[in-house]
Each structure stands twice: as structure tokens, then as C-alpha cells.
Amino acid sequence: MSEKEKVFYERGTEELKLKNIRAQKLVRAFNHSEVEDSEKREEIIRELFGSVGANSAIEHNFHCDLGYNIHVGDNFYAGYNCTILDMAEVRIGDNCMIGPDVGIYTAGHAIEPKGRNKSGYGIPITVGNDVWIGGSCVILAGITIGDNSIVAAGSVVTKDVPANTVVAGNPARVIKSIDN
């Protein structure tokens, strides 16, 4: 990963605080919305995210850092307790499903301890079309998940996932190819 692909940030700046407050107000409104009020829930997500395709659905207890760095395509679904740390862009294609308790983390910190808690960086994550991410998965910074792939429940994705594959484990490894 080249340094210019990383998005650097300093924790505690007034600008970052204001962006986070905006996101947290919208996240709270979403998580406290009535389940049957799908119009209100969609309105909040459209205000929170950078872009949203048609027919998106997100279950309660969603969390994110900024919101505006999240872009989802048509027919997006995220299960309960989804967390997307979007210090850098997260782009998710069409027809993607995310199981419960999934974490998608663009954020990282320095290896050296001095100053680690004062700044960080984000590396974009890209998820292709027709991807299924099973429950309790973790997707780490800088990952690309190819079209038509499946990330099996409980996997920790530390490397890119090729298109048309099933990955599983910690760290996730290709266990099967998918024939189209």
C-alpha cells in the first residue's frame, strides 16, 4: 500500500469531531427509528451515506465513523450490529448481503507506539457485486472482495478475495471456486 492511497487523520481535531458528531446523530436517529417506518429509515441512511442504490435495507444497531465515505449499490442488505469504520471510502456493489455482527474497518494506526493514539489512517475497501459476507466476519483496511464471492461466517479477511471464490477462516483463505 502506497502512502498516497492512505487517508491520514488526526484524532481530536475540531473538524473530525464535527464530522463524527454529524454521523453519530444520524446513526442514533436510525437506530432509534421505528422498524416499520421504512421511509424514515431510508431517508436517514441516504443522508448519512455518500450514495445509496435502490432497495437498501439495514437492520438496527448500525454504526459508522463518518457515513459519507460509505457507498452502496442496489439491493444492499446489512444485518444487525453492522459496523463500518469509514475513515476512508467503502464501496459496496449491487446485490450484496452482509450478515449480522460484521465489521468493515478502513482504519489503521502506526506500528510504533509513540503517537499511535493521536493519529491514524484509512485505506479504502471495495466489495464487488453479488457478494455475500457471512455473520461475524471482519474485513480489514485496503481489502478488495471480487464479484460473486462469499466470505464464510466468522472469517477475518486480511488479503484480497478473488472474484468467484468462497473464502473462510482466520486469516481467510480460498476454499472453493464458484462456477457461474
Q: Is 109 a catalytic residue?
A: yes
Element housing 78 (H / E)? strand 77-78
CB 178 within 8 A of CB 150: yes
Count Cβ atoms within 10 A of the Cβ of residue 116 and give its class: 0-12 exposed, 13-18 middle, 19 or more buried: exposed
CB 12 within 8 A of CB 118: yes
Give the whole-angstrom CA distance, residue 105 versus residue 151.
15
Choice among 60, 63, 71, 109 that is catalytic: 109
CB 114 within 8 A of CB 108: no
Positions annotated as catalytic residues are: 109
